[in-house]
Amino acid sequence: MATEEQLRLSTIIKSCHDSLRMLTKQYGPEKAWQEHIKDGDRLREYAEAMHQLANIWEHNTTNQDLMARSRVKWTIEYCMAYFFSERIYLEKRLREQRLLESWEGYDCSQCQYLEQMPDKIKVLDVGSCFNPFGKSENFEVTAIDLCPATEDVLKGDFLKIQIENLLEPIMASETNEVISLPANYYECVVFSLLLEYIPSSDLRLQCCQKAYQLLKYEGILIIITPDSQHVGKNAAIMKNWRYTLGTMGFSRIRFEKLPHITCMVFRKASDPRIAQRWSELHKESYMELSIDIPQDNKTFDDD
């Protein structure tokens, strides 16, 4: 049962999303986004509400059920299994090699692989708010957000940030905002409760394309999206996400439906043709290049 404080914080968050949806209907997604990010008071209120609400969920050590559903805990555990304890990335590498060798006209000559694993996983947490992964001793985190709730999060609009051949992020001296991020640099990019914040499919596609550019080959994009419905309710949408990201060169390697969220992991394939061929073979008649969310077709009367 949600407490009065949880309901208050949830209302602030919902109001921010509703405001952005209304702006999008009025102006279109690009102009709506620009108007939205100018509203510093609303962004700060949203960031603080997200921070407080996350503290209730992520740090409630007295409730094991809440801990089991923690998106932060889930992300850390999968990263550890993928890169270290179970070395899942090597298992997926071997599978991709077998697939390529089994297809006529394909081979592994274009494959690109992770080099020796570093001591710490380089993680880019987009829409981080309060840097929930910063305390993990196995992560080297770059956390960015429109309106950071804590000092260890960098300010930046991911949709505007450039991707270049760099050794580290570049900040604008006059605003102290991130203006560029290094390409092919991160082992993991995290979109936790991010894509549903973005007001249109095209802008969400831009986010995913940027994640592809930022990741090393065999790196992973972790997407966590709110979903309180049963597992089949949004199945067609999730299948279309898989198809769309496959055309970019991402292979979905993990899907888990938890009580209020859906957790997915997409691997930057060692050869993009592997994921692209999967998309070609599994495309269904309704599928198109889009990252739609259930809220796209929601009216305010539905709320």
Q: Which residues are documented as binding site for S-adenosyl-L-methionine?
A: 127, 145
| CA distance between the termini of the chain | 20
Encoded tokens for 134: 């910063």
Residues 6+ apart with CB under 8 A from 6: 53, 56
40 in helix, strand or coil?
A: helix
Radius of gyration of the chain (CA): 19
Residue (of 215, 222, 210) closest to 162 by Cα position:
210
Whole-number Å distance between alpha carbons of 144 and 174: 17
Q: In what order do the strands lie in the sheet with 170-171?
A: 162-164, 178-182, 170-171
Centre a 10 Å sphere on the Cβ of residue 107 and count the other Cβ atoms it contains: 11
Angle at which helix 272-282 crosses helix 88-102, to 10 degrees, equals 70
Binding site, by residue number, is 127, 145
Give the Cα separation of 229 and 245 in Å (integer): 23
